[in-house]
């Protein structure tokens, strides 16, 4: 059994009346890529802040490689590299200087600093651009450099908060490749957050889905999709899909998944077996089906099953940060 990189037991973080993280328990195994998937406001960053010792949990326990975040924060910090949600680079100096700054900050000894940074630049594929100022880098290069700055002290655990947000598909792939290499070649453990289902699906060995501060499902992407329990059948109809849904929900073995403007999707144990019954039942109620197709469940369906809705952000009115931003903007307007 590999050692657990992170053990979290009943972790909660409350802000006044808001339960940002509401009693979650999970383990990140050493040398895996573990994904924390959830919509805006789900509690992902708050969980990360607790793990990285940036904020104190209201209750519960977290250990990072056996060290408790509250009792032994220095030890925890030494073993973690952290890439925050918003860019953390110094823009008007070079990539090299950013790495050097980070190495000094993390207390990397002077005698090994230069060599460490050279190796990092090689790993990041940025040797030829090392002396350019960061503001001239592409978004993808900035993200890679940021990951580099979190690695100069050779942590065992790399924690990244939405590492690919704002990147194009090519930029995302480059970051994924880098993370995979870190795990495979350097034995690092990766904990990342994302609200991108396909990213979680492709990159992570295991995923926890978080919504409103609670973990609603946890497992490998395959296990989670299997847990949806069958196939998804999507029907297109020009008539009202709500009516079609009402008819189908009375049938045994058919579970309504989503109802759209011109379409409807249902979950059945086996598409092959249920499609004739679906068409039969609708046509006997004079509902014409324009198209029908079956697909295997995606993580989106997993989220829908366990969280009870599609993955959507919390309401704007409930987010204190947005309220603050709006207030600030008003004040500036005088
Ligand atoms: N310092 C704070 N004080 C009060 N409320 C906070 C604070 N930090 C976060 N929150 C609230 O806690 C909840 C969870 O926020 P968090 O930043 O953890 O979400 P998230 O999953 O990271 O979302 P996003 O995808 O938008 O980054 C939100 O409702 C947020 O407004
Ligand atoms: Mg966040």
pLDDT tens digit string along 247-305? 999 999 998 888 989 999 999 998 989 999 999 999 999 999 999 999 888 888 888 88
> Per the structure block, which two tokens stand in for 296?
């295997």
Place of tokens 């090392």: 130
DSSP 87-150: ----TTSBHHHHHHHHHHHTT--HHHHHHHHHHHHHHHT-GGGTTSBGGGS-HHHHHHHHHHHT
Homologous superfamily of the 230-296 domain (CATH): ACT domain (3.30.70.260)
Tell me if 49 CB under 6 Å of ligand 1.
no
pLDDT tens digit string along 159-188? 999 999 989 999 999 999 999 999 999 999
Question: Which of 11, 16, 18, 195 to probe ligand 1 with, by most ligand atoms within 8 A of CB?
Answer: 18
Instruction: Compute the distance between CA of residue 64 and CA of residue 67 in angstroms, rounded to an integer.
Output: 5
Closest CA to 305 of 237, 231, 217: 217
Instruction: Compute the distance between CA of residue 83 and CA of residue 114 in angstroms, rounded to an integer.
Output: 22
- In DSSP terms, 11 is beta-bridged to 24
212: Cα within 13 Å, side-chain hemisphere:
9
Comparing 334 with 186, the larger pLDDT belongs to 186
Tell me if 325 CB under 6 Å of ligand 1.
no
Which residues touch 10 (CB under 8 Å, ≥6 apart)?
23, 24, 25, 59, 60, 61
DSSP 73-85: HHHHHHHEEEE-S
Domain segments of the chain: what residues? Answer: 4-225, 230-296
Q: Which ligand is nearest to the CA of 21?
A: 1
Q: Which whole number is the average pLDDT over 44-61?
A: 97
pLDDT tens digit string along 99-136? 999 999 999 999 999 999 999 999 999 999 999 999 99
Instruction: Compute the distance between CA of residue 271 and CA of residue 253 in angstroms, rounded to an integer.
Output: 11
Instruction: Compute the distance between CA of residue 220 and CA of residue 229 in angstroms, rounded to an integer.
Output: 15
Q: Which of 48-56's residues contact partners 24+ apart within 8 Å by CB, and which partners?
A: 48/82, 48/159, 48/161, 48/191, 48/193, 49/13, 50/11, 50/13, 50/21, 51/6, 51/8, 51/80, 51/159, 51/191, 52/76, 52/77, 52/80, 52/82, 52/159, 53/77, 55/13
Q: Which ligand is nearest to the CA of 43?
A: 1
Question: Which of 45, 193, 197, 307 to probe ligand 1 with, by most ligand atoms within 8 A of CB?
Answer: 45
Instruction: Compute the distance between CA of residue 21 and CA of residue 15 in angstroms, rounded to an integer.
Output: 9
Atom number, ligand 1, closest to the C-alpha of residue 47: 18
Q: In the prediction, which pLDDT does 228 show?
A: 85
CATH of domain 4-225: 3.40.50.300
**pLDDT confidence tier of residue 327, bands split at 50, 70 and 90:** very low
Segment (H or E) for 240: none
Query: Which protein residue has the closest C-alpha to ligand 1 atom 6?
Result: 15
- In DSSP terms, 208 is beta-bridged to 36, 218
Query: Which protein residue has the closest C-alpha to ligand 1 atom 25?
Result: 40
CA of 124 to the centre of ligand 1 (A): 31
Tell me if 56 CB under 6 Å of ligand 1.
no
């Amino acid at each position: 059994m590999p050692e657990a990189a992170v053990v979290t037991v009943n972790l909660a973080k409350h802000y006044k009346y808001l339960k940002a993280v509401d009693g979650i328990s999970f383990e990140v195994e050493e040398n895996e890529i573990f994904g924390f998937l959830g919509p805006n406001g789900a509690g992902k960053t708050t969980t990360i802040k607790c793990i990285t010792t940036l904020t104190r949990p209201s209750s519960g326990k977290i250990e990072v490689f056996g060290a408790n975040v509250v009792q032994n924060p220095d030890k925890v910090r030494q073993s973690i590299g952290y890439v925050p949600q918003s860019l953390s680079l110094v823009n008007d100096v070079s990539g090299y200087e950013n790495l050097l700054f980070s190495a000094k900050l993390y207390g990397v000894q002077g005698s090994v600093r230069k060599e460490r940074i050279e190796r990092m630049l090689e790993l990041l594929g940025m040797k030829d651009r090392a002396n350019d100022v960061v503001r001239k880098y592409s978004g993808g290069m900035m993200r890679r450099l940021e990951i580099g700055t979190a690695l100069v002290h050779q942590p065992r655990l790399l924690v990244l908060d939405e590492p690919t947000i704002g990147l194009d598909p090519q930029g995302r792939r480059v970051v994924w490749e880098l993370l995979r290499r870190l795990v495979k070649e350097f034995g690092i453990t990766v904990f990342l957050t994302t609200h991108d289902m396909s990213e979680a699906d492709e990159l992570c060995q295991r995923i926890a889905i978080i919504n409103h501060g609670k973990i609603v499902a946890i497992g490998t992407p395959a296990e989670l999709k299997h847990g949806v329990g069958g196939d998804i059948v999507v029907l297109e109809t020009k008539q009202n899909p709500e009516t079609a849904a009402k008819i189908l929900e009375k049938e045994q073995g058919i579970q309504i998944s989503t109802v759209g403007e011109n379409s409807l999707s249902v979950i059945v144990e086996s598409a092959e077996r249920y499609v004739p019954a679906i068409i039969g039942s609708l046509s006997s109620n004079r509902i014409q089906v324009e198209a029908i197709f079956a697909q295997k469940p995606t993580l989106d369906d997993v989220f829908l099953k366990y969280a009870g809705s599609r993955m959507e952000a919390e309401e704007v009115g409930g987010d204190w940060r947005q309220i603050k931003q709006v207030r600030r903007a008003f004040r500036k307007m005088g």
